[in-house]
Structure 1
Amino acid sequence: MSFTVIGPIAEGGAKLPKGSFRVPAGFPSPAADHIEKHISLDEVLNIRAPHVYLISIAGDSMQSAGIFDGDLAIVDRALEAGHNDVVVALLNNEPTCKRLCVRGKQMILLSDNPKYPPRYILEGDELAIWGVVTNTVRSHV
């Protein structure tokens, strides 16, 4: 699974209306009558520019983590990556999005798709953790 950097996310996005009810996946309700407040996706997604980037994900190796081909990942470069975090990284200058597994001094990049084997970081490998995936955005159209 690889990624493409789209760019940093600017703070101060538009405020959007938030309904005061949960929407069932059944029959519609007239939403305009239930506006609770206006919210910003910057706040909901905990975006703190300039170290937060939008990354376009390519591939199917993270499907069990809910990250699919074409999704946009919000990546925070200020967070320190730890065991079990989903990260974007450069492994030997190749971009990848994987789950970080730390076992003592051994680091492993794991796919969340059983058809891909674990990638053990070996002596001589160059691994640069670029950031931690905090959220993803998926288009349904």
Structure 2
Amino acid sequence: MPRGGKRIGAGRPQGTGKYGEATKAVRLPIRIADEILAALAGGSQEIELGTMVQSIFKPERKTKVSLPLYLNPVAAGLPAPTEDYVDDNIDLNRHLVKHPDTTYLVRVVGESMIDAGIHPNDMLIVDRSIEVTNGQVVIAVVNGELTVKRIRKDRDKLWLMPENEAFKPIEIDEHTDLHIWGVVTNVIHAL
């Protein structure tokens, strides 16, 4: 009996899968697979996701931005006396990006995370190497759409929670195609 190759009558009938048409398997490097799938995903959005990712950037690791770090902290309450002593210079890349090979920047669109301090047009620093735990803010691909939400596991249910009362939580069930793309580590917000 021959092994391997195409066998008559084997497999799912053409056009009966998730996409309703013939598909083709494609091999992609793991490090870029989710990005490509997210970029190619289109069509109508079945769930109101609220805050979406507008664009994705890889941080530039070749440049160094050294800025002075002053010795005295800034008081957010009553004013405190100040001195002009510089403690050290810091490189923002080293300070904000812990794992350069797995870190990306994304720009935000939407208002579902405003109460978490994430506003439209903010840049998020996302680390894909951090293990996701309950309560973290994550970038998730939900049914092919990138969104930013707080992940919440309650008993046997998984939710993507907005941080704005005007938006509803997204319950993740067996019919939801979910991929966690990374953990948000920092927000860059212009005043």
Is residue 2:72 matched to residue 1:21? yes
Asked if the contact 1:5–1:53 (Cα under 8 Å) also holds between the matched residues in 2, the reply is: no
Is residue 2:135 matched to residue 1:97? no
SS at structure 2 position matched to 1:96: strand
Give per-residue Cα distances to partners, 1:4-35, cap 9 Å, x unaligned: 343221335222111112235799x998x422
What is the match of residue 53 of structure 2? 3
- Superposed structure 1 runs of 4+ greater than 4 Å apart: 24-27
Larger Rg, first or second structure (1 or 2): 2
User: How does the TM-score come out when normalised to structure 2?
Assistant: 0.65
Unaligned runs of 5+ in 2: 1-50
What is the match of residue 136 of structure 1? 187
Q: Decide which moves more: 128-137 or 4-13.
A: 4-13
Asked if the contact 1:11–1:48 (Cα under 8 Å) also holds between the matched residues in 2, the reply is: no
Q: Give the letter aligned to residue 102 of structure 2.
A: H
User: How does the TM-score come out when normalised to structure 1?
Assistant: 0.87
Residue identity (%): 32
Shift in alpha-carbon separation, 1:16–1:42, aligned structure 2, 3 A: same
Q: Give the letter aligned to residue 120 of structure 2.
A: D
Asked if the contact 2:160–2:170 (Cα under 8 Å) also holds between the matched residues in 1, the reply is: yes
Which protein, 1 or 2, shows the higher relative CO under an 8 Å CA cutoff with sep ≥ 6?
1
SS at structure 2 position matched to 1:50: helix
| 1:1-141 aligned within 5 A | 1-11=51-61, 13-24=64-75, 33-140=84-191
Q: Give the letter aligned to residue 7 of structure 1.
A: F
* Distance in 2 between residues matched to 1:48 and 1:122, nearest whole Å: 31
Equivalent pairs, count: 138
Q: Decide which moves more: 99-108 or 39-48.
A: 39-48
* Distance in 2 between residues matched to 1:24 and 1:94, nearest whole Å: 41
Cα RMSD after superposing both structures: 2.1
| Structure 1 or 2: more strand by fraction | 1
Unaligned runs of 5+ in 1: none
Shift in alpha-carbon separation, 1:22–1:121, aligned structure 2, 3 A: same
